[in-house]
Amino acid sequence: MSPPRPTVEVIGHRLDPAHYRVRDFLTRIAQPYDWYEAGSDEADRMLSGHGIAAGSLPVVIDGDDVITGATAADLARAWNVETEPTRTHYDIAIVGAGPAGLAAAVYAASDGLSTLLIEREVPGGQAAYTSLIENFFGFPDGIGGAELARRAGRQAERFGADLVLLRGVVGHDVAPDGRFRLDLGGELSVTATIVIATPGMEWRRLEVPGLEELLDRGVYYNAGRSEAAQCGGDGVVVVGAGNSAGQAVLNLAQAGARVRMVVRGDDLSKSMSAYLVDRIEANPLIEVQLGSQVVDVHADAGHLSGVTIADGRDDAERHDAQAMFVCIGADPRTGWAARAGVEADARGYILTGPDLLEAGRRPAAWRLERDPLTLETSVPGFFAAGDVRSGSTKRVAGAVGEGAMAVALAHRRLAELERLPTPSGGG
């Protein structure tokens, strides 16, 4: 990943979903930019200065380069982001570039292993949705999640790791010689001796009629950081009561929005860190509605205009809202791994190490004369780290620690494979 570009300007419509996605992409790769609302005098002047027709929005101006009708993929191409692996085989393939995957890539590459880090979106995972991580050690003034990820990505590349972005792993199988073949979609695949799965979590959806149609049109999953920055003076709603909801509420209030926080439970402190609860209670722009749920959404010209909130006691009440941010937690993203036989617990988190043993017995399909290593899954040589792992701490530092530890354990598996006789017919 290159350092951020010095000047990036974007002209677009704030409420257009495609234009929002470009803003969101820039925010999540920690690329600073200036936003110009289409139709404003300044935006018109810039468009005519570059001889650009108004129909080519969104427009991204990067120094002398102008990208019209820009999408995240266009920007990735223009900025030389790798979207395909450079080799056909790696010692280690890491799936997912959140904090766990990034840390694994830094340590694997710095240990001299050929390393692929593959990410379906952009680096940072959930952390890229938070503007300030205040409890990651070594950063007393906090650090933006996207900034942290960008630094880690550059560090991994400097040690020689291949970072492939905007491309997900959709399946895998194991060859007779124990190598993994990862299916990257579009007839592209790669093999690896070791896999470290760090696919993290996906947002839990809010079941309210009509909500999906308003996605990116006033309704945003998680903090919607780039939109939150534009909400000054607006009335907005945040649904949820965890730390991510707390951070979103405070960000929005800091941007000058009037925030209604809709909480199903009866006490914020049951699910949120004390430092966030204190700040929320002290902020006059924030109103917390406990014991409440959003039961309906309302639209005007295809964009969110209000929500109805019920508390189970009085009549449900409609409130105007220009935006709603849904931060109701997340579930483990284990789809492809689970389909390929990696064992998970009842909630879908990947089981590793001692958690795979039942009354001291190894998993039925386990063929080795040893127990699974601490972060090894039910498939030898296939490790899991970070939030997706059963029993993980759901913290950036925990994910980073597990990513580093998975690499240390991978060395043990690599040494074991070197001692094994090569099976005949192996590729």
Q: Are 200 and 392 in contact (CB under 8 A)?
A: no
Identify residues 138-167 at the interface with ligand FAD (CB under 6 A).
none
Least Å distance, CB 269 to ligand FAD, is 17
Q: Which is nearer to ligand FAD, 98 or 218 (CB)?
A: 98
For residue 84 the two structure tokens come to 């395909």
User: Is 226 among the residues that bind ligand FAD (CB under 6 A)?
Assistant: no
Q: Report the distance separating Cα 421 and Cα 25, nearest Å.
A: 47
Cα-flanking dihedrals φ and ψ of residue 249, to 5°?
Answer: -60, -45
Q: Which is nearer to ligand FAD, 149 or 294 (CB)?
A: 149
One-character DSSP codes across 92-111: EEEE--SHHHHHHHHHHHHT
Q: Which is nearer to ligand FAD, 97 or 161 (CB)?
A: 97
Q: Report the distance separating Cα 24 and Cα 194, nearest Å.
A: 33
Binder of ligand FAD out of 95, 211, 375, 409 (CB under 6 A)? 95
Residue type, 61: I
- Per-residue contact track with ligand FAD, 108 to 127, x per CB under 6 A? ----------xxxx---xxx
Non-local (6+) Cβ contacts of 182 within 8 A are 93, 95, 118, 169, 171, 172, 189, 190, 191, 192, 195
User: Is 169 among the residues that bind ligand FAD (CB under 6 A)?
Assistant: yes
Binder of ligand FAD out of 20, 107, 129, 382 (CB under 6 A)? 129
One-character DSSP codes across 261-318: EE-SSS-GGGTS-HHHHHHHHH-TTEEEETT-EEEEEEEETTEEEEEEEE-SSS--EE
- Per-residue contact track with ligand FAD, 358 to 387, x per CB under 6 A? ----------------------------xx
**Options 19-27, 31-39, 192-200, 262-270: segment touching ligand FAD (CB under 6 A):** 192-200
User: Is 172 among the residues that bind ligand FAD (CB under 6 A)?
Assistant: no
**Options 45-53, 54-62, 129-137, 173-181: segment touching ligand FAD (CB under 6 A):** 129-137
Q: Report the distance separating Cα 413 and Cα 372, nearest Å.
A: 10
Interacting residues toward ligand FAD by CB under 6 A: 95-101, 118-121, 125-127, 129-130, 133-136, 168-169, 198-201, 222-223, 243-244, 247, 333, 336, 386-387, 394-397, 399
